[in-house]
Amino acid sequence: MADYDETLAFITSIDDAPTVDEVCRRLLGLSSRFGLTGVIAGTMPGSGTPPSDQQRHILLEGWPDGWIEHYVQRDYVHIDPVIERIRSDRNPFMWDEAPIAPTLRREAATMNGEAREFGLAGGMAVPLVTLEGKIASVSFGGHHIELSPDDRSMLALVSIYAIGRAFRLSRPTSPVPTCLSPRETEAIRWAAIGKTDWEISMIMAISEHTAARHLANAKRKLGAANRAHAVAEAIRAGIVR
């Protein structure tokens, strides 16, 4: 069985990664233990998407050098059995579990042979569906793979956090700026270093009642349940550093 605390630490570190490249590097740090030395994640291009547009669907890429260019140039997305299965399955699977359409057997064999030369003898794919209903996936590949069923589900779970983080970093939803007044901002900054309402009132030369009101307004605007939550939200919003 995979270690829960270690898995949680990996997820936390991936969810804290400052850039998509760093998400990729940290994810590969885990998957490489199982021989999965390459990874790609993104949404699925619709069938018939021209090669020039396919790369725009990629969110995160750590494939061996040259493979993605080769794959796109040969238009392999339309014969790759892994892609086909990602569109129809909801559970993680190994590449060799993806059935090859009889009409594509020759092309698929050529593609697999070339993938092997790039160091991608096998792999695992994690199919996902986004909020909007778009099909997405994380796919790992490598040369010598040793992955138990437990490792598989652990890695699949971590990879969902990785693609979630990559989504956030690549398309930051512009947060609605929280507009605290200068007095509310000052009050929350003092609250963040542990000052009581009375202390804040003395520092800001206002009544204790007014200090409490500034904080209550800040809390409401931040959507916070209490003082500690308000401070945490203010830090997240960059109001308190």
Partner 1 sequence: MIIAVSGADQAEFPHLFEQSSRLRHQVFVEEMGWEDLRRADGREFDQFDDEHAVHHFCVRDGAVVGYQRMLPTTRPNLLSSVFPELCEGTPPCSDRIWELTRYCVAPEHRDGRRGVSTAGSELIAGFVEWGMSSGIDNVIIEFEPMWVLRAMQLQFLARPLGFQRKIGNQQIVATQVTFGQRTIDAIRAFRGAHAPVLELWGRLGEATPQALAV
Helices (H), the chain: 4-15, 20-31, 51-54, 67-73, 81-88, 105-117, 149-170, 182-192, 197-204, 208-221, 227-236
Question: Residue 2: enclosing H or E segment and its boundaries?
Answer: none
Residue located via tokens 């690549």: 170
How far apart are the C-alpha atoms of 39 and 23, rounded to whole Å? 11
212 binds partner 1, rule: CB under 8 A: yes
Contact 11, 161 (CB under 8 A): yes
Instruction: State the number of binding residues for partner 1 (CB under 8 A).
Output: 51
| Nearer to partner 1 (CB atom), residue 94 or residue 157 | 157
Using CB under 8 A, which residues numbered 67 to 96 contact partner 1?
90-91
Q: Which of 109, 129, 202, 235 binds partner 1 (CB under 8 A)?
A: 129
How far apart are the C-alpha atoms of 65 and 67, rounded to whole Å? 6
Task: Tell me the closest approach of the beta carbon of residue 167 to partner 1, in angstroms.
Answer: 6
| Nearer to partner 1 (CB atom), residue 24 or residue 154 | 154
Angle, helices 4-15 vs 20-31, to 10°: value is 160
209 binds partner 1, rule: CB under 8 A: no
104 binds partner 1, rule: CB under 8 A: no
| Nearer to partner 1 (CB atom), residue 108 or residue 136 | 136
Q: Which of 13, 32, 49, 153 binds partner 1 (CB under 8 A)?
A: 153
Stretch of residues binding partner 1 (CB under 8 A), selected from 73-81, 94-102, 113-121, 150-158: 150-158
169 binds partner 1, rule: CB under 8 A: no
49 binds partner 1, rule: CB under 8 A: no
Q: How far is CA 212 from the centre of its chain?
A: 39
194 binds partner 1, rule: CB under 8 A: no
CA proximity to 59, closest of 166, 168, 173: 166
150 binds partner 1, rule: CB under 8 A: yes
| The length of the chain, given as a count of residues | 241
Stretch of residues binding partner 1 (CB under 8 A), selected from 22-30, 111-119, 140-148, 159-167: 159-167
| Nearer to partner 1 (CB atom), residue 112 or residue 196 | 196
C-alpha torsion angle, residues 16, 18, 24, 26 (rounded to 10) = -50
How far apart are the C-alpha atoms of 135 and 133, rounded to whole Å? 6
Contact residues: partner 1, CB under 8 A: 1-2, 4, 7-8, 11-12, 15, 90-91, 128-136, 150, 153-154, 156-157, 160-161, 163-165, 167-168, 173, 175-176, 178, 212, 215-216, 219-227, 229, 233, 236-237
